[in-house]
Structure 1
Amino acid sequence: MQDYRPENIDCFYFQYTHCAKVQCNFQHRQSCKDSSEICLNWFRHRKCRNRVCPRKHLNHEVMVAYFLCPVEKNTNHCLQLTCPMYHEKARQFIEHGIIPPNPVPTLSQVRRKKMVHFVYLENPQVQNMVKSANQLLNKVRSFIANSVREGKLTQDKGRSYYKEILHAILFYGNISDPVIEPNSFFEKEEFELLSNKYPDVFRNYNTHLPRRPPFTVLLDAVIEILGTRNQNEVFKCLLHLTEEMVLELSDARSNKCGNIFVSTVISCCYFVNHHITNEKTDNYYGASVSCRGRQQKEIMIDILCCETWHQVVSLAVCIGNWYKNQCLLFPETMYSIAYNVTFNEESPPETGTTSNNQHGHTGVGSGDVQNTDALENNSILKRHAHLKLRAPCERCLKMFPNIVYHPRPEYHKHPYWEYGNCAECESLSQLLYANPQIVMRLGYFVQRTILYSPVEQVHLPNDLIFRKHRRLVENLRSLGFDVGEHLPFYDPSGTDSTALEVFQS
C-alpha cells in the first residue's frame, strides 16, 4: 500500500485477538494495546520511531488494505463466528445475534501550534503560499472584472467564480501547517474590504469544504467567458493568465511556474462516435490537483471523489488507490491529450503543427512544444509560457487503460503522486457528466476478489467512496479542522455578499 510499510504498522491480530505467525512482518507492541487513538506522528509521516509509543499505528486505511476479511470483501458477509480478521460491516448470527464491526482507532483532536510571529513571517512555505495566493487572486479578479464589464460574464456568475476561488485558498491556508490565517494573505485595507464584501467566504472557510481546486475553477471560468471549447482559444487564454502568476524562483533554470495554486498539467479529452453518427463531442478540460503537502493533496483528492467527480471516475480512482487494479473500459474511440505548462526565458522554438484529420485533435511537429495557430504570435507570451506534450502516467494507464492517448508513453515511469492527482480525471468526469450516453457504454474490468457478483456493482462504488470519506474525515481532524461525520460544502452562490463592481477600475 502506498507510503505505508508493514514494519511501521501494528499487527491487527496482535492488537485485538491473537497473532499466530512465528515471524510477523507487522509490529507487535504491547504499549498501545489499550489505546483507542491513532499516533498523530505516524499518521502524518507514515512512521514513528518510538517503539513504546502509547498510541496505535493503525487506521481504517491500513486495516482495509492489510487485514480486511476476504470473505466479507467477496461476498459482503462473513459467516465465521471466530474469524480473526478485520470486519468493517456488522455480522448477524442466529444464535449469537449481531456482532458489530471491529473498532477503528481514531485521531485525537490536536491543533497545530501557531508559530511565533516573526518566525511565521520568515517561513518559506508561508511566504510561498501567500505570494501564490496574491498573484492568483489579483489576476483572477482583474480577468473576471474585465469579462463582466465586457458583457462576457454576468455579474452574479463572476462573483460566484471569484468567491469559490477565494474560499478554496483560505481553506488551504486553514489546513496548512503552519496555519495561515486569512488576514495573512492581504494588506489590512484589502482584508477589511474583502471580508466586508464577502462575509460568507470568511465565515465558512474553516467550517465548509471547497468542491474544486482554485485552478480548476479558473479553467471553468475561462471556458464560459470565451464561449468556446476550442483547444487553441482555451490554451491561449490559459497561457496568458499563467504568465502573470509566475513566482521568482531561486533556481533560474526551473521551467515551472512556482505558484502552488497553478496546475502543472492540463488535459483535453473527447469522444468520436464512429459506429453510429461519426460525430465528435466537444472538448472537455481538466487540470491536475494543485496544492502542496501530502495530507492536503489527499484531502483535495478525497473531496473530488466524494463530492465532485462523476461516480465512475471516482470508482476508478478508488479501485486504483485501494487495489492497484484496472476498473473502467471506455469505448474505443475515447481520446485524451495532455500538456505540461512550462516557462522559459527564451521563446519556444518555431515548430510545425500537424493535424489529425480523422480524430480532429492537434498534434505536434518535429519539436515537443505545442504551437497551434492561435499560439503562433509569441508577442502575447510575455514570460514565454508554452505547452509541452505529456504522455499519460502509469496511474492513468491503470485506471483508464483503453483510452487513445496522445502521445502514447514509450516507457512507464513510476509516479510518486496518488491516484486521482492527474488532470485526466477531471476532464473525463466533465465529459461523462455532459454525455450520459457514454456512461451506458462503459465496461467494467474488476477482478473477482474485488467484485464478486453483478449485484455488487450497485454497492461497490458507495462502499469504496465511503472509505475515501473516512480518510477525508481523519485527515481533516488531524489538521484541526472542525468537522463531523456530515461534511458541509461551500456554496459560492450565496446572496449575502455584494457585487464584483469593487474590482472594476
Structure 2
Amino acid sequence: MDKLQGPKEYVDEMLHSIFFLGWIHSPKYTPEMILGNHLSTMMKIFPQPFESYTRKLPKRTPFSCVLDMVVSMFGPDNELEIWRKLRDIANVMSGKHRFTSSTICISESGGRYYGASMSCTGKKEGQIMIAVSCLCTWHYSVSNAVMTYKPDKNKRKNFDGTMKLQECVKCQASNVKSGEEMPPCRSCGNLFGLEKPSNQMWPYGNCAEAESLSKLLYGEEEIVKKVVPSVDCKMREQVVKEVKAHLEEKLQESEFQWDSSYYIPQ
C-alpha cells in the first residue's frame, strides 16, 4: 500500500489544482465539464479535491504533480525513462487548456532535481500560482529571488534576493515534447545568475528553473550556504505582505472565496 499511496496523493493534488484553475478561469470550467463520464468514479476515489477547490489554494500547478509522480516511479537517475514518460503524457494531452508544462529543468549538485514550468494558461492564473509558490511552496531563497521583481517585471527598491549559482550547480532546461535543450531566459539569468541567457523574458518565477532549483536547495544544504544572499528581515516581511495582497487582489478578480489555507493532498 505504501507504494500506491504516493502516486495516489499526486493524482489527488493534481485534480485539486486542475479544478481550481478551471474555477478561476473565465469562463469557468467545472469538474463535471473537465471529467465528463468519469466524474462519479473520480469523486468516489478522490473526494477531497471536489470539496476543496472553491476555497483552498493549490501549492503548485498540475504538471508539477505529474512530474513528481513520474520521478517517483522511475527514480531521479533514470533520466531517459522519465523524459520518455513525460513526453508521452504531454503528446497525448491536447487542447487549449491542457495544463501541461512546456519545459522541464534538471538541476544537479550531488543529487538530481526536476522542476516544471508553470502549467496554467492566462496572465492572471500565472500570477496567482507564482505568488502562491513564493508564499508557501518554494525554498525561501528562490522565493526571495522571484520576489525581488514585481509582477510587472520591475525590480523592487531596497530588496534584492537574487543569487549567483556556483559552478558546482548544473541547471539545464529542455522542451518537454522534443527534449531539445533550451538556454535560460533573461529573467532566470537575472534571478539566478545563469549564464548565456536568451533574449526571451518570461514572467519572473514562471520557468522550470525556479521549481528545480528550489528542490535542489531544499536537498543540498551546503549549496544554500554558498549561494544564498542575506536579506533584511523587516524588508522581506513587507515584500511578503505585498505579494500576498497582490494574490488576494487577483483572487477577488476571479471571485474566489479563499479560506486562507492551502490544499493538502490526501
1:313 correspondence with 2:86 = no
Q: 1:234 to 1:428 in 2, by over 3 A?
A: same
C-alpha distance in 1 between matches for 2:100 and 2:234: 36
Q: 1:331 to 1:457 in 2, by over 3 A?
A: farther
Deviations 1:83-138 (CA, angstroms, capped at 9, x unpaired): xxxxxxxxxxxxxxxxxxxxxxxxxxxxxxxxxxxxxxxxxxxxxxxxxxxxxxxx
1:413 correspondence with 2:209 = no
C-alpha distance in 2 between matches for 1:428 and 1:212: 15
C-alpha distance in 1 between matches for 2:139 and 2:242: 17
Paired position in structure 1 for 2:226? 441
| 1:67-106 equivalent positions in 2, closer than 5 A | none
Counterpart pick for 1:227 among 60, 75, 82: 75
Paired position in structure 2 for 1:457? 232
- What is the CA-CA distance between 1:420 and the residue it aligns to? 0.4
Q: Structure 2: which 5+ residue stretches go unaligned?
A: none
| 1:27-426 equivalent positions in 2, closer than 5 A | 154-187=3-36, 189-247=37-95, 260-271=98-109, 281-321=110-150, 323=155, 327-342=162-177, 386-401=178-193, 403=194, 405=195, 408-409=196-197, 412-415=198-201, 417-426=202-211
C-alpha distance in 2 between matches for 1:282 and 1:443: 18
Q: What is the TM-score normalised by the length of structure 1? A: 0.49
Instruction: Kindly indicate whether the alpha-carbon contact (under 8 Å) linking 2:147 and 2:161 is maintained by their aligned counterparts in 1.
Output: no
Instruction: Kindly indicate whether the alpha-carbon contact (under 8 Å) linking 2:141 and 2:228 is maintained by their aligned counterparts in 1.
Output: no
Deviations 1:299-331 (CA, angstroms, capped at 9, x unpaired): 111111111000010000011335166721232
Paired position in structure 1 for 2:248? 473
Deviations 1:44-102 (CA, angstroms, capped at 9, x unpaired): xxxxxxxxxxxxxxxxxxxxxxxxxxxxxxxxxxxxxxxxxxxxxxxxxxxxxxxxxxx
C-alpha distance in 1 between matches for 2:9 and 2:131: 23
Structure of greater relative contact order (alpha carbons < 8 Å, 6+ residues apart) = 2
Q: 1:293 to 1:458 in 2, by over 3 A?
A: same
Instruction: Kindly indicate whether the alpha-carbon contact (under 8 Å) linking 1:266 and 1:338 is maintained by their aligned counterparts in 2.
Output: yes
- What is the CA-CA distance between 1:198 and the residue it aligns to? 2.4
- What is the CA-CA distance between 1:163 and the residue it aligns to? 0.8
Q: Which amino acid aligns with 1:413?
A: N
Paired position in structure 2 for 1:491? 264
Instruction: Kindly indicate whether the alpha-carbon contact (under 8 Å) linking 1:314 and 1:465 is maintained by their aligned counterparts in 2.
Output: no
C-alpha distance in 1 between matches for 2:168 and 2:75: 26
Secondary structure, counterpart of 1:215 in structure 2: helix
Q: What is the TM-score normalised by the length of structure 2? A: 0.90
Q: 1:426 to 1:239 in 2, by over 3 A?
A: same
- What is the CA-CA distance between 1:414 and the residue it aligns to? 4.2
Return the index of the structure with the highest Cα Rg: 1
Secondary structure, counterpart of 2:180 in structure 1: strand
Deviations 1:126-174 (CA, angstroms, capped at 9, x unpaired): xxxxxxxxxxxxxxxxxxxxxx8xxxx7222222111111111110111
Instruction: Kindly indicate whether the alpha-carbon contact (under 8 Å) linking 1:166 and 1:201 is maintained by their aligned counterparts in 2.
Output: yes
Q: Structure 1: which 5+ residue stretches go unaligned?
A: 1-147, 248-257, 272-280, 343-385, 445-453, 494-505
Q: Which amino acid aligns with 1:264?
A: S
RMSD: 2.1
C-alpha distance in 1 between matches for 2:124 and 2:47: 28
Instruction: Kindly indicate whether the alpha-carbon contact (under 8 Å) linking 1:168 and 1:213 is maintained by their aligned counterparts in 2.
Output: yes
Instruction: Kindly indicate whether the alpha-carbon contact (under 8 Å) linking 2:114 and 2:211 is maintained by their aligned counterparts in 1.
Output: yes
- What is the CA-CA distance between 1:263 and the residue it aligns to? 0.5
Instruction: Kindly indicate whether the alpha-carbon contact (under 8 Å) linking 2:118 and 2:208 is maintained by their aligned counterparts in 1.
Output: yes
C-alpha distance in 1 between matches for 2:209 and 2:191: 10
Instruction: Kindly indicate whether the alpha-carbon contact (under 8 Å) linking 2:16 and 2:50 is maintained by their aligned counterparts in 1.
Output: yes
- Hey, which of these two has a bigger chunk of helix by percent? 2
